[in-house]
């Protein structure tokens, strides 16, 4: 079998293999890899997607089509073959999807529709978005150093319910003959309970503080949300639970972000707040995410978009994808030691002064996507050498 090695994402200790005689596939992968820290093999589906997605994942192989690349090749944003491969694997690593080329497509033919279909098909409902300010990059934050330094937040976002999926939705006409558009924010008790339990468990593994964000002073869906989260708190007596209205939470994230440990919120609020939290760190090119369900494979992806304006120019920052692979190991496969090795390698690479353009500052070394990935891999290899001596 032809071996495919990780370059820009996780570890060189992940070795991918393609079936003998299989033709090279454009931008999609179903790969089995071996992790030396885990001493076993896993089957991982890689979905590089569009724009800079292939560059930051190229860097981690065996591919399946999704998004715009799938539209161009098959006419749909999520081919059945891709969804089937994703369901049958241990975890899914996604690069990025979308681009100007498909902006004017009908909704069902947009790359983003493929992502929604993938989430639904995998049954992932909890999106975990960390936002930690690394000491090496604190000056890249738009906030004052004393505000940004030490920030370490995890946003747990409900992913498959709420206003993005609620019905009725659509277009209509009011009694004045004007065009209208409408959506429905709706949550069931079971949907709230399951995301709250995930958040309580995440908080338990962190610093033991959970802030539930809602708009319970106005919205009935939020009133139910607050009641259910409050009721579940009795099952987690070791967790300090607080509540905050979403408008106040948005303000507090830039006023005093260090007050937050773990945040849990609904789909639309989480979409907004997690993006806000990401900018505290200085660059979305550094931030990973995980989407998990009650069973089956999880979906792991960097939070940045496909950035078609820099696609193919070796300018993308691969560290968010590398760190997504670390989350894949931790939350998807239970391989904590391997996840820590990746995170340590990223930290050490930054300590050595290597920077892509989005996090570059005078006095550091500007590198491209591929070289940044290579430098992380060198660090991983040096870890292995030290471990062998011990």
DSSP string, 264-327: EE-HHHHHHHHHHHHHHTS-GGG-EEEEE-SSS-EEEEESS---TTTTTTT----HHHHHHHHH
List 12, 61, 110, 215, catalytic entry: 215
List 72, 90, 101, 164, catalytic entry: 164
Model confidence at 56: pLDDT above 70: no
List 50, 214, 261, 271, catalytic entry: 271
Other CB atoms closer than 10 Å to residue 319's CB: what's the count?
30
Buried/exposed 49-62: b ≥16 CB within 10 Å, e otherwise = bbbbbbbbbbbbbb
Check residue 84 and give its pLDDT. Answer: 92
Residue 80 falls in the annotated catalytic set: no
Mean pLDDT (whole number) for 19-36: 39
Model confidence at 260: pLDDT above 70: yes
Mean pLDDT (whole number) for 31-45: 54
Model confidence at 20: pLDDT above 80: no
Query: For residue 201, what are the contacts with CB-CB under 8 A and spacing of at least 6?
Result: none
Render pLDDT for 356-381 as a digit per residue (tens, 0 to 9).
998 998 999 999 999 999 999 899 88
Model confidence at 384: pLDDT above 80: no
Check residue 308 and give its pLDDT. Answer: 85
Q: Of 68, 97, 127, which is closest to residue 298 (Cα–Cα)?
A: 127
List 245, 275, 314, 315, catalytic entry: 275
Q: Of 223, 154, 234, 237, which is closest to residue 189 (Cα–Cα)?
A: 223
Residue 164 falls in the annotated catalytic set: yes
Which helix (H) or strand (E) covers residue 83, if one does? helix 80-88
More confident residue, 279 or 152: 152
Checking 68-75 for CB contacts under 8 A at 24+ apart, the result is: 68/97, 68/98, 68/99, 68/101, 68/102, 68/111, 68/306, 69/26, 69/27, 69/28, 70/28, 70/111, 70/114, 71/102, 71/105, 71/109, 71/111, 73/26
- Whether the model clears a pTM of 0.85, i.e. scores above it, the answer is no
Check residue 49 and give its pLDDT. Answer: 67
Check residue 21 and give its pLDDT. Answer: 37
Sign of the CA dihedral with 386 first, then 368, 152, and 154 last: negative
Determine the 3-state secondary structure of 106 from DSSP: coil
User: Among 32-46, 56-70, 215-229, whose mean pLDDT is lowest?
Assistant: 32-46
Place 55 in a pLDDT band, splitting at 50, 70 and 90: low
Model confidence at 15: pLDDT above 80: no
Mean pLDDT (whole number) for 297-301: 93
For residues 219 and 163, the answer to whether their CB atoms sit within 8 Å is: no
Mean pLDDT (whole number) for 62-76: 88
Residue 271 falls in the annotated catalytic set: yes
Model confidence at 35: pLDDT above 80: no
Model confidence at 354: pLDDT above 80: yes
Check residue 61 and give its pLDDT. Answer: 52
Other CB atoms closer than 10 Å to residue 276's CB: what's the count?
15
Model confidence at 60: pLDDT above 60: no
Check residue 209 and give its pLDDT. Answer: 98
Mean pLDDT (whole number) for 36-63: 61
End-to-end CA distance of the chain: 33
List 80, 88, 139, 247, catalytic entry: 247
Residue tagged 């894949």 (tokens): 328
Place 194 in a pLDDT band, splitting at 50, 70 and 90: very high
User: Among 30-39, 276-285, 326-335, 357-366, whose mean pLDDT is lowest?
Assistant: 30-39
Q: Tell me the C-alpha distance between 84 and 328, whole Å.
A: 19
């Amino acid at each position: 079998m032809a071996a495919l090695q990780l370059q820009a994402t996780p570890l060189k200790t992940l070795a991918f293999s393609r079936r003998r005689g299989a033709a090279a596939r454009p931008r999609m992968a179903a790969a089995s890899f071996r992790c030396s820290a885990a001493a076993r093999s896993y089957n991982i589906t890689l979905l590089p997607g569009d724009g800079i997605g292939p560059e930051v994942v190229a860097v981690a192989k065996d591919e399946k089509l999704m998004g715009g690349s799938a539209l161009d090749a098959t006419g749909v944003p999520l081919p059945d073959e891709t969804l089937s491969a994703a369901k049958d694997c241990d975890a899914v690593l996604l690069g990025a999807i979308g681009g100007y080329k498909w902006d004017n497509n009908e909704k069902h033919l947009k790359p983003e529709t493929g992502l929604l279909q993938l989430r639904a098909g995998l049954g992932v409902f909890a999106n975990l978005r960390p936002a930690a300010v690394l000491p090496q990059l604190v000056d890249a934050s738009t906030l004052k150093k004393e505000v940004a330094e030490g920030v370490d937040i995890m946003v747990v976002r409900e992913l498959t319910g709420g206003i993005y999926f609620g019905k009725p939705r659509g277009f209509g006409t009011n009694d004045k003959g004007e065009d209208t558009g409408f959506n429905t924010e709706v949550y069931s008790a079971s949907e709230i309970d399951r995301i709250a339990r995930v958040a309580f468990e995440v908080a338990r593994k962190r610093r033991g503080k959970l802030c539930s964000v809602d708009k319970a002073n106005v919205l009935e869906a939020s009133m139910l949300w607050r009641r259910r989260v409050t009721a579940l708190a009795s099952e987690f007596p070791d967790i300090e639970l607080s509540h905050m209205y979403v408008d106040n939470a948005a303000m507090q994230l830039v006023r005093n972000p260090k007050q937050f440990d773990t945040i849990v919120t609904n789909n639309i609020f989480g979409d907004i707040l997690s993006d806000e939290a990401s900018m505290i760190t200085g660059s979305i090119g550094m931030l990973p995410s995980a989407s998990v369900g009650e069973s089956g494979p999880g979906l792991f992806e960097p939070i940045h978009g496909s950035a078609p304006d820099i696609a193919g120019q070796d300018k993308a920052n691969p560290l968010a994808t590398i760190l997504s692979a670390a989350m894949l190991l931790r939350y998807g496969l239970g391989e904590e030691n391997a996840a820590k090795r990746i995170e340590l390698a990223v930290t050490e690479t930054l300590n050595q002064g290597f920077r892509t353009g989005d996090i570059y500052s005078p006095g550091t070394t500007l590198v491209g996507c591929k070289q940044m990935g290579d430098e992380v891999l060198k660090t991983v290899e040096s870890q292995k050498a030290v471990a062998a001596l011990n």
